[in-house]
Amino acid sequence: MEILSIKNLLPGFLRHLEEERSLSPHTLRSYRTDLTRAGRYWGETRSVKEIDRFAIRRYIATLTEAGLQPRSIHRHIAAMRAFFRYLVREGVLETNPARALALPRLERRLPRFLTEKETERLLEKPFPKTPKGVRDRAILELFYATGGRISEIAGLDVDSFLEGGRLVLFRGKGEKERIVPLTDIARNALEAWLQKRPAIASPAERALFVNLRRGTRLSVRGLRKIISTAILRRTGRRAGPHSLRHSYATHLLNAGADLRAVQELLGHSSLSTTQTYTHITLKRLKRLHARAHPRA
């Protein structure tokens, strides 16, 4: 009889996350890494039925002693909560021993973003008229025009657009759908790419952005490299794809956009997540106030 250890139950849990909850590859890797570490700690012969809340607390204490930062410990606890909740759902356990674990308080990080001038340098410097140049410009314009996540952009197909290309349909975390309007500049960049795409894409490939050599869907890794390289060469900043999402949100709020509208555009389930960007706008307003107010 197979032992109900973390090692033996982990593959089924990861399939559940991928197929039913549609979590990103990055999240799946994090859960696999964290739970594999926990599995090694308790051993392959330890049944999950023997792991109670006291055993989990002792394990968390070893992570603290090993020097892990609160953010990493927060992630480990979240992984165990989800794993044991899955085991309860599957009937392996009656209760979730990780449910009552307290999550460490985390300092909210201000997201990195490009200034409006840096964004202009990124997008307005001429791109080569080659297929690569046309594709890369379309990628960058689409990121900044929609604030899409990298996994959402990578998952777009040629038919992911509505109303003649004026709207884009994203499938975000958990297969949640949202519709985001496109700017005219982004539409023009995409139309230029779609004229080049047929000569490059494989016949049956439906992906919007494809690898220039194989003609198949451009991976998240490929997208990240394109964007990070372009930002560094054009602005001198070391930043990745998520900085464009942060820039999109920050620039909208700086221009007076409604917070709840930005929440909907970004696909945030919680308004508090979107409110992170208000810290940036408030810092900017404070600086302006200090410079402009006669008695500041």
**Contacts within 8 Å (CB) and 24+ apart, 251-259:** 251/116, 251/119, 253/277, 253/278, 253/280, 253/281, 254/116, 254/281, 254/284
Cβ atoms 177, 213 nearer than 8 A: no
Q: Is 284 a catalytic residue?
A: no
Order the strands of the 177-181 sheet from edge to edge.
Answer: 161-162, 167-171, 177-181
Catalytic residue among 135, 245, 246, 251: 245
Determine the length of the chain: 296
Q: Is 171 a catalytic residue?
A: no
Q: Is 268 a catalytic residue?
A: yes
Angle between helices 25-42 and 53-65 (to 10 degrees): 100
Distance CA 242, CA 147 (A): 9
Residues 6+ apart with CB under 8 A from 269: none
Q: Is 246 a catalytic residue?
A: no
Catalytic residue among 75, 137, 196, 268: 268
Catalytic residue among 31, 86, 144, 277: 277
DSSP states of 210-276: B-TTT-SBPPHHHHHHHHHHHHHHHHS----HHHHHHHHHHHHHHTT--HHHHHHHHT-SSHHHHTH
Catalytic residue among 173, 178, 225, 237: 173
Output the six-digit token pair for 233. 């060469």
Residue 171 falls in which region: left (phi positive, over 0), alpha (psi -120 to 50) or beta:
beta
Distance CA 59, CA 48 (A): 14
Catalytic residue among 81, 149, 217, 246: 149
Q: Is 245 a catalytic residue?
A: yes
Q: Is 248 a catalytic residue?
A: no
Please identify every residue annotated as catalytic. Answer: 149, 173, 242, 245, 268, 277
